[in-house]
Structure 1
Amino acid sequence: MKVVKGSIRCDRFLVPYRIYGDKPDTIVCISGAKQTMAVWRSFVKRFVPSFSVVVFDLPGTGRAEILSGAPQVTFEEQQQVLLDVIGDTAKTDKVVLAAASWGTILAAYIAAKYPTKIEKMILGSFGVSTNDTILELIHRGQSAFKTGDVENIAPLMIECFGQYIPESQKQQMISQFSNMDEKELLNFYEHCEFVKTSRDISKLINLREIEAKTLVICGEHDTILDHDGIRAAVTKIPNCVYKLVPDTGHFLHWEKPSILDTYSNFLHSTESA
């Protein structure tokens, strides 16, 4: 497998990326909050025979560096990072976006604002609005941060929405949060503040402007998603199919690898959603 390793200077950030494969059609993967590019390992392995697959770390996560300024990374700055990654790595005029959790908000925003850039889009665990469960989780997590009890943040997350992931990945999440420095923790704290104040993405994104063929896929047992809100949102995306996966939580193909088959059927289909 051909692998290109590089980094992009995006204003005050240095963003690392990897391009796997050398096919002309490009998939750009956008991770959830505090998820590194490593979470796409099984996705890359599955799709690199047919696509060039791009993964990267958002500022404040993994190997990405904040070179100056505050640890907070604004929504606008994240948008520009995604645009820069697409611009520097895409082999054709249009790309496919594959996004998870928080990454779905970024993907949907870019697809609505720049519809000619995006051909297809997978929105996994599409967080269209914040429900009471995630607001309570944020409150408990921020309380742990303020009291210095940061080692309890990852176990709280696992208790709330990571119950179904393999034990090895639970331990990876606990280790990641235990090893975060103060800037990384502040970055996550500020991200949670933004989530609390952005309760409805229809105020951020005009979903009707999305032209990309779109798959919205969510787990039946995902406790932090507003499933009624998702069902309403998908009716606004013109070329969209919605799938609710039984016996699955927030982390989709981490929990149920067969979901990669659903992604594959969608990506290789030539029919309208």
Structure 2
Amino acid sequence: MDKGVGTGRTVRVGNHDLFYSEAGSGPAVVLLHGGGPGANGLSNYVRNVETLAKRFRVIVPDLPGYGQSSKFVDQSDPFGYLARMVGGLLDELGIASAHLVGNSYGGAAALRLAIERPEKVGRLVLMGPGGIGTTRALPTDGLNELLNYYRGSGPSREKIIRFIREYLVFDGSAVSDELIEQRFRASIDPQVVAEPPLRRPSGPLALRTLWRMDFTRDSLLREVTHPTLVIWGTADKVNRPQGARMLAEAMPNCDVYLAANTGHWVQWERPDLFNTLTTAFLEATS
């Protein structure tokens, strides 16, 4: 899983720990993983790190609540909290600016950092990012499956198999039993079960939280002038592919690539395509 990746480290960002792994040299590229149960940085980008590290300094954190990072997320403003932690990681590493690559939950973190601290971000590559049209319509079946993982009877192998094989990817048979087991074991960490990092907003401030999680409000996306590449699977069952058009119409410098026969996990499902597109885009000078 970690072929070509150096030893991971933990840094203190604010009052919490953030674990990351690193490989390669060159311009800094931070890979931000999605928010599905049992996710972490290296498992989400296992098919990309080695290739990207030939051209870039690749930094792969476990986002808060996942992997070996602290199990805390500010649920009143989750995307903002993730962005602050990623920005804090760059500060701790002495990196003035980095390219950000973000899938789903990680894509939302990348967008929020680009809005709040634009100087920290070079180029953006976004794959099915959260917060794009997901709060103004009924959730997709895939998003419901994700948000309900810790609800009701709680986490189970059956739930994670259904989410990954039926909703996360286009071809569920391509996902090994080993990967399913790794994700399941990580998802039942007692700290995670007690405080799931990605959950449905609830309580008296739920509407305010949802408002904060919607990037299409108040033309926020028009403020993101960074060169951006959106790669979205046409068969995405978690975040609607229509979000790609929304981004292209709202962001001043946004290119879109729609990947056929691909679900929500484009960097894993179509690694050669993803690695080629991402490398070319990040190395472009105009």
Residue 61 of structure 2 aligns to which amino acid in structure 1?
Answer: F
Counterpart CA distance in 2 for 1:12 and 1:85 is 12
Residue 134 of structure 1 aligns to which amino acid in structure 2?
Answer: G
Unaligned runs of 5+ in 1: none
Residue 121 of structure 1 aligns to which amino acid in structure 2?
Answer: L
Count of residue pairs the alignment pairs up: 262
- The Cα of 1:105 is off from its aligned counterpart by 0.5
Residue 85 of structure 1 aligns to which amino acid in structure 2?
Answer: L
**1:158-216 Cα distance to aligned partner (Å, 9 max, x none):** 2223342564545413432245223212433x522149963733238811111211001
Contact 2:140 2:240 in 1 (8 A): no
Contact 2:169 2:264 in 1 (8 A): yes
- Which of structure 1's runs of 4+ aligned residues deviate more than 4 A? none
- The Cα of 1:77 is off from its aligned counterpart by 2.8
Is 1:118 matched up with 2:124? no
Residue 43 of structure 1 aligns to which amino acid in structure 2?
Answer: N
Counterpart CA distance in 1 for 2:19 and 2:265 is 23
Counterpart CA distance in 2 for 1:137 and 1:2 is 32
Q: Please, which of 186, 189, 194 is the counterpart of residue 181 of structure 1? A: 189
Is 1:85 matched up with 2:97? no
Q: Please, which of 159, 163, 166 is the counterpart of residue 157 of structure 1? A: 163
* TM-score normalized by the length of structure 1: 0.84
Unaligned runs of 5+ in 2: none
Counterpart CA distance in 2 for 1:19 and 1:55 is 6
Closer, same or farther: CA 2–138 of 1 in aligned 2, 3 Å: closer
Closer, same or farther: CA 51–148 of 1 in aligned 2, 3 Å: closer
Compute the RMSD of aligned alpha carbons: 2.7
Residue 268 of structure 1 aligns to which amino acid in structure 2?
Answer: E
Counterpart CA distance in 2 for 1:26 and 1:208 is 25
Closer, same or farther: CA 4–156 of 1 in aligned 2, 3 Å: closer
Counterpart CA distance in 2 for 1:37 and 1:56 is 6
**1:40-91 Cα distance to aligned partner (Å, 9 max, x none):** 233221121221110111122111134xxxx554313322211111212354
SS at match of 1:241: strand
**1:196-254 Cα distance to aligned partner (Å, 9 max, x none):** 96373323881111121100110111112222233123211111101101111111131
Counterpart CA distance in 1 for 2:21 and 2:231 is 25
* TM-score normalized by the length of structure 2: 0.81
